Amino acid sequence: MLSFTFLKYMDVAPRISGLLSQRKCSGLPSRCASMFRVPFTADRYNVRRRDYAKLSEDDLRVFRDIVGDSGVVTGPEDLEFYNVDWLRICRGQSTVALRPKTTQQLSDILKHCNTRKLAVCPQGGNTGLVGGSVPVFDEVVLSLNLMNHIESLDTVSGTLISQAGAVLETLENYASERGRVVPLDLGAKGSCQIGGNVATNAGGLRFLRYGSLHSNVLGLETVLADGTILPFGTNMRKDNTGYHLHHSFIGSEGTLGVITQVALLCPPKPSSVSLCFLGLNSFEDVLKCYDETSKALTDILSAFEFLDTECYTTSYQEHNVSPPLKPFPFYVMIEVSGWNAEGDTNRVSSLVETLMNKNLVIHGTIVNEPSHMLSLWKIREGVAEALTRRGYVYKYDLSIPKREMYNLVEDVRKRMGSSVESCSGYGHLGDNNLHLNIVTKDYYPEVTKQLEPYIFEWTRKHKGSVSAEHGLGFKKRNVMQYSQSPQAIKLMQRMKELYDPNGILNPYKVLPDSFPS
């Protein structure tokens, strides 16, 4: 007997921004920073410092001349934010963070660092999940925080031009007020910056609808390691004048140059949005549900996310949200957005009815009032933070064909048994993107040895990618070969040498420590 109950809150047609502007990422997980001290990355993960110069008093004087006293951060307490990553698993030892306000200042800083052979770690909102945004040793932190001016939005073409340090949520609000939507949305939107998003080629919740940043970034201004300022292209949607160089910076994670300005294509803003939160009995049913949904709602589908019961429970408990549904093995979130509030709602209701009749969905809720959608999204977007409150998180962000995706979670759960606190899966099902998270009370290198290379080999065997959307940064730099050929890795090394001959930009990140022969 099916026990489906619609909890319908359909009296108010919500605006997308009304919901999203309330979502916040605090920058640091609310696990209190003083709870434990994060060990130095170099010690915890056994890394050797490369041959860079050491910062001197003269260097500090040069930096003060360029950005003024207020742009040079040196106090150990103030540096804590710049040295420790969001997951609190990496800690650098930098003694200076610089905060330029203009591209020219940033260029002057890089010119000096390159001449002196001082290593540099570019940093945006510091919400990255692979340890790429914080130094490993004493790299100079180059923060984009103060380069946050939004220049313009052409409401006819939808082209938004902004400095790289603008916070994603601020951009979202700016675009929304002008009838447009930023084609990217993630749980870290309250802290991450558009430059950091481009540097990581972030995916997130709207990827399914709007595609990759490779199709939405129209142009960039970047600064190379030697200080050369590079404006690219025309910011026109069609521009085939030569190699598409700006694409090499999308996803380069601060290793090829620093992004200082972004031109982004912002589509028209939908006027109505609805969200379903559904309980299902098996992953097989999740797949069938996706199949039905993608056929029925293709033109208005804006997110299709899944969570297993472990993620669901951890998230609502840690965030004190009352659970919308009773326990199920799996949950699915389907968001649609369009311009026909009544019509779209009817289509969603009729789909859910069909899914119920086929016994694919057992229980669920459909909402379109902003505060209700917000609390449902909180459960999904809060998983990352909730898990960090339970201990050390071994994070894997994988692309895997949908059919096989959850087999990996089950295999790893079986392999690890009771040696770990939990092993759970969630993610962007519509994009074949699984987030596999294993939690232990503290960091144990022997657990890593059980997980790796097992997970990477499993992923390669199923023709997936070992980094779907988070990048490689520091934590995943030595596993690139599971998804890239030796020839491709060598070409990347040559690109790095071309763009940054002294190797000062974000060392120990992205490229593997040793190269395939």
Bridge partners, 152 (sequence order): 161
**Region from 57-65, 101-109, 283-291, 469-477 binding ligand FAD, contact rule CB under 6 A:** 469-477
CA–CA separation, 54 and 210 (whole Å): 44
Bridge partners, 332 (sequence order): 278, 306
What is the residue-wise DSSP string for 405-428? HHHHHHHHHHHHGGGSSEEEEEEE
Minimum distance, C-beta of residue 383 to ligand MLT, in the bound complex (Å):
6
By beta-carbon proximity to ligand MLT, the closer residue of 246 and 435 is 435
Does residue 303 touch ligand FAD according to CB under 6 A? no
Selected from 67, 89, 161, 164, the binder of ligand FAD by CB under 6 A is 164
Binding partner of residue 127 among ligand FAD, ligand MLT, none, CB under 5 to 8 Å per kind? ligand FAD
Minimum distance, C-beta of residue 257 to ligand MLT, in the bound complex (Å):
25
CA–CA separation, 404 and 411 (whole Å): 11
472: number of CA atoms within 13 Å, CB side? Answer: 24
- Note the residues at the interface with ligand MLT (CB under 6 A): 187, 383-384, 397, 435
By beta-carbon proximity to ligand MLT, the closer residue of 347 and 435 is 435
Minimum distance, C-beta of residue 17 to ligand FAD, in the bound complex (Å):
18
Minimum distance, C-beta of residue 92 to ligand FAD, in the bound complex (Å):
11
Selected from 28, 334, 384, 438, the binder of ligand FAD by CB under 6 A is 384
CA–CA separation, 297 and 351 (whole Å): 9
- 401 touches 464 (CB < 8 A): yes
Minimum distance, C-beta of residue 191 to ligand FAD, in the bound complex (Å):
6
Fill in the DSSP letter of residue 155: T
Binding partner of residue 435 among ligand MLT, ligand FAD, none, CB under 5 to 8 Å per kind? ligand MLT
Judged by CB under 6 A, the chain residues 83 through 112 that form the site for ligand FAD are 86
Minimum distance, C-beta of residue 12 to ligand FAD, in the bound complex (Å):
27
Does residue 126 touch ligand FAD according to CB under 6 A? yes
Minimum distance, C-beta of residue 134 to ligand MLT, in the bound complex (Å):
17
Minimum distance, C-beta of residue 428 to ligand FAD, in the bound complex (Å):
7
Does residue 190 touch ligand FAD according to CB under 6 A? no
Residue count, binding to ligand FAD (CB under 6 A): 39
Bridge partners, 122 (sequence order): 142
Q: Compute how many other C-beta atoms are within 10 angstroms of the C-beta atom of residue 297.
A: 19
CA–CA separation, 320 and 491 (whole Å): 49
Minimum distance, C-beta of residue 85 to ligand MLT, in the bound complex (Å):
13
Nearest to 179, CA basis, from 165, 158, 150: 158
* 283-297 helix and 402-416 helix, angle to the nearest 10 degrees: 160
Binding partner of residue 199 among ligand MLT, ligand FAD, none, CB under 5 to 8 Å per kind? ligand FAD
Q: Find the residue with minimal CB distance to ligand MLT.
A: 384
By beta-carbon proximity to ligand MLT, the closer residue of 134 and 383 is 383
CA–CA separation, 57 and 453 (whole Å): 44
Nearest to 315, CA basis, from 381, 366, 371: 381
Nearest to 257, CA basis, from 217, 277, 230: 230
SS3 assignment, position 10? coil
Does residue 172 touch ligand FAD according to CB under 6 A? no
Binding partner of residue 259 among ligand FAD, ligand MLT, none, CB under 5 to 8 Å per kind? ligand FAD
Helices (runs of H) and strands (runs of E) counted in the chain: 18, 16
Does residue 135 touch ligand FAD according to CB under 6 A? no
CA distances from 53 to 96, 137, 226, 412, 509 (A): 14, 12, 16, 43, 18
By beta-carbon proximity to ligand MLT, the closer residue of 100 and 190 is 190
Nearest to 198, CA basis, from 154, 145, 272, 248: 248
Find tokens 């939004």 and name the residue: 150
* Burial annotation 100-111 (CB, 10 A radius, 16+ → b, else e): bbebebbbbbbb
By beta-carbon proximity to ligand FAD, the closer residue of 208 and 409 is 208
By beta-carbon proximity to ligand FAD, the closer residue of 129 and 361 is 129
Q: Which residues bind ligand FAD (CB under 6 A)?
A: 25, 86, 121-129, 132-133, 144, 164, 186-188, 192-193, 195-197, 199-200, 202-204, 253-254, 258-259, 384-385, 469-470, 473, 506, 509
